[in-house]
Copies of this chain bind each other. A is one copy, B any other.
Amino acid sequence: MSVLIVGSTALDSIKTPKSENPKLLGGSASHAGVAASFFSPVKLIGVVGEDFPKRYLDLYRRHRISLDGLQILPGKTFHWSGEYEQNMNNRRTLLTELGVFETFNPTLPKADQATPFVLLANIAPALQSHVLDQMRKPRFVVADTMDLWLNIALADLLKLIKRLDGFVLNDSEAQQLTKEDNVFAALKKIHKLGPKYVIIKQGSHGSILSGPQGLFLCPAYPLLKVVDPTGAGDSFVGGMMGYLAAAKGSIDANIRRAMVYGSVVASFCCEGFGLTRSTRVTRPQIEQRVKELEKLSRF
């Protein structure tokens, strides 16, 4: 089955202590889309400007990503610039130029409205809701978010959360949302906002699922070197949704392995700037790391 993914499609300029990488392909929908594409066909909903390089459109296409829902508008593509500190964990935003994103009003192609798996990747919650409004009986709807929306669009976010099957956020966002320091206490509170499945991302410490079958502690693949973690969270949730859309059986039967696959795709994402590493990954390389993760966590 297919996954419909809405989110940002951007150009990212990423600085680290060691290098500068201007205008890489980025954005939550790009990262999630490429990650999901290893497992399922993807329908991308987004907007770019006329400056968007043709090679990036080709890149999407090489990944079986349908672009019927990608608007190309007069103006500039959303451009984000950030800088990482030496430890590669702390990041600060240098620049945010919204460009054509400012007036983004996604209208879904008819054919996309019946897509069974829907990933509302990180983007303003009002836009996530607007996309969800257009879907016809989706089977499984998951949204990701970021601290920005907790700060400036909390009411919209809470409205969206009620309608989700699954909600994904990181540990500091979970703490901010629930005022709970304890991640397991936070999970309980987030369930009360609506979603049956809640996933808390913990970066290099992995992620935690709370669902109808209880908790699952999902490991992160050990990396000796993190080149650029931008998009790792998007890759995680994209890989997970792609795997779920391809898997036979119930969500409960597949979601743990789906998270492990997402975790592995995210590990590749961290090994290169932007999507440079992710786009060179093969399915056998993914399978190899999943097998390694099984070994690393068996006792």
Q: Which residues of A are in contact with B by a Cβ distance under 8 Å?
A: 86-89, 181-185, 188, 202, 204-206, 208, 214-219, 222-226, 256-257, 259-260, 294-299
Known A202-B205, A205-B205; judge A184-B222 contact (CB<8 A). yes
Contact of A299 among B87, B88, B208, B216 (CB under 8 A): B216
B215 and A222 contact, CB distance less than 8 A = yes
Within 8 Å CB of A182, what residues of B?
A: 223-226
Known A182-B226, A202-B205, A225-B182; judge A296-B257 contact (CB<8 A). no
B86 and A181 contact, CB distance less than 8 A = yes
Within 8 Å CB of A225, what residues of B?
A: 182, 185
Minimum Cβ distance to chain B for residue A257 (Å): 5
Within 8 Å CB of A214, what residues of B?
A: 295-296
Contact of A219 among B183, B184, B217 (CB under 8 A): B217
10 A-B pairs (CB sep. < 8 Å): A88-B181, A182-B223, A184-B223, A205-B205, A215-B222, A215-B296, A217-B219, A217-B222, A257-B299, A294-B299
How many copies of the chain does the oligomer comprise? Answer: 2
Within 8 Å CB of A185, what residues of B?
A: 224-225
Most B C-beta atoms less than 10 A away, residue of A87, A88, A204, A297: A297
Within 8 Å CB of A86, what residues of B?
A: 181
Task: Please report the C-alpha to C-alpha distance between residue A218 and residue B204 in the assembled complex, in whole angstroms.
Answer: 14
B88 and A296 contact, CB distance less than 8 A = no
Within 8 Å CB of A226, what residues of B?
A: 182
Task: Please report the C-alpha to C-alpha distance between residue A226 and residue B185 in the assembled complex, in whole angstroms.
Answer: 11
Task: Please report the C-alpha to C-alpha distance between residue A134 and residue B183 in the assembled complex, in whole angstroms.
Answer: 45
Task: Please report the C-alpha to C-alpha distance between residue A32 and residue B257 in the assembled complex, in whole angstroms.
Answer: 36
Known A205-B202, A214-B295, A296-B216; judge A181-B260 contact (CB<8 A). no
Minimum Cβ distance to chain B for residue A251 (Å): 14
Within 8 Å CB of A224, what residues of B?
A: 182, 184-185, 188
Task: Please report the C-alpha to C-alpha distance between residue A296 and residue B208 in the assembled complex, in whole angstroms.
Answer: 10
Task: Please report the C-alpha to C-alpha distance between residue A182 and residue B184 in the assembled complex, in whole angstroms.
Answer: 26
Within 8 Å CB of A219, what residues of B?
A: 217, 297
Within 8 Å CB of A208, what residues of B?
A: 222
A256 and B298 contact, CB distance less than 8 A = yes
Task: Please report the C-alpha to C-alpha distance between residue A218 and residue B223 in the assembled complex, in whole angstroms.
Answer: 16
Nearest to A202 among chain B residues (CB) is: B205
